Amino acid sequence: MYRVMIAEDSNAVLDSISVAFHEGEAISAAGGVTLEDHHKINELFVRRMAGNGNCIVAVEMEDPTVVLGAFLNEDFANPPPEGLEETLASLEGNMTPVMSTVEELEGHLRQKYGLKDDLERGKVLHLWMLGVTTEARGRKIGQKLAIHSIAWAKKQGFKIAFAEATGAASTHILTKHGGQEVVHFIDYGVYEGPCQEQVRALPGQGHNGASLTVSDFRQKKKKT
């Protein structure tokens, strides 16, 4: 069953999404980010996202307390959560490759679509983190979470929905099944920055780079 995330889902979502990203997010793995690191960062976001009405979760029909996956989304106008810089500094692993990649993609988004720093609320939805538990993989849950999230963004009146797809799986899901367009790409093979050697090895593992994927609901349909 797919539904909007509620506050009571917070603990289960936090645990499942942290494990999913620890196992499957390529660029943070290159920086040696641990499961505990993911949990610390995600806790800052999950708690505040739980009641914002924009996150979609997949739960078992027989027991809705069992979370199988989630797509954590929030209004791009929201500021970073309190304590983010301190948390990043306390991590065992190095999140700099992830943060710098995200900053570049978001910078391109702002430039391409003319988004100002004082962005009006309700205009742009950030499709922030997609994850499915190990036990639930192979059931197309990630695809359906993406489809539901993008449809939700359009229904709620957002003009743009975007994601930073940092791995091959998320890029595939968002473009093929979510119908999003890649508008900017960062090639890991020529990456320059912290953990350079590890990041440049990612294409050999099937992760060619990070993509800025976008749904622009303002685009008019072509006449046939």
- Which tokens hold the place of 143? 């695809």
Paired residues of 132 in beta bridges: 69
Q: Which CATH architecture has domain 2-216?
A: 3-Layer(aba) Sandwich (3.40)
Please, which pLDDT band fits residue 65 given cuts at 50, 70 and 90? confident
Mean pLDDT within 19-41: 94
Mean pLDDT within 31-47: 95
H or E element at residue 20: helix 10-24
Q: Give the per-residue pLDDT at 132.
A: 92
Among candidates 34, 14, 10, 19, which has minimal Cα distance to 90?
Answer: 34
Q: What is the pLDDT of residues 134-184, one digit of tens each?
A: 888 889 999 999 999 999 999 999 999 999 999 889 999 999 999 999 999
- Chain centre to alpha carbon of residue 125: 11
Measured at the CA of 29, the angle between CA 24 and CA 35, to 5 degrees, comes to 75
Q: CA-CA distance, 68 to 64, in Å (whole number)?
A: 10
Q: Give the per-residue pLDDT at 220.
A: 58
b (16+ CB within 10 A) / e for 73-86:
bbbbbeeebeeeee
Mean pLDDT within 70-81: 95
- Which tokens hold the place of 20? 């999913």
What is the strand order of the sheet 56-59 is part of? 2-4, 56-59, 67-75, 124-132, 160-165, 209-216, 181-187
Q: Give the per-residue pLDDT at 47.
A: 85
Q: What is the pLDDT of residues 86-126, one digit of tens each?
A: 999 999 999 999 999 999 999 999 999 999 888 999 999 99
Residues in the chain, overall count: 224
H helices within 114-195, ranges in order? 141-155, 168-172
Strands 160-165 and 124-132: parallel
Q: What is the pLDDT of residues 184-203, one digit of tens each?
A: 999 999 999 889 999 999 99
Lowest mean pLDDT among 61-65, 151-155, 166-170, 217-221: 217-221
**What are the boundaries of each domain within the chain?**
2-216
Q: What mean pLDDT is reported for the chain?
A: 93
| Whether pLDDT at 223 is above 50 | no
Provide the greatest CA pair distance for the chain: 56
- Which tokens hold the place of 79? 């500021």
Q: How much is the pTM?
A: 0.93
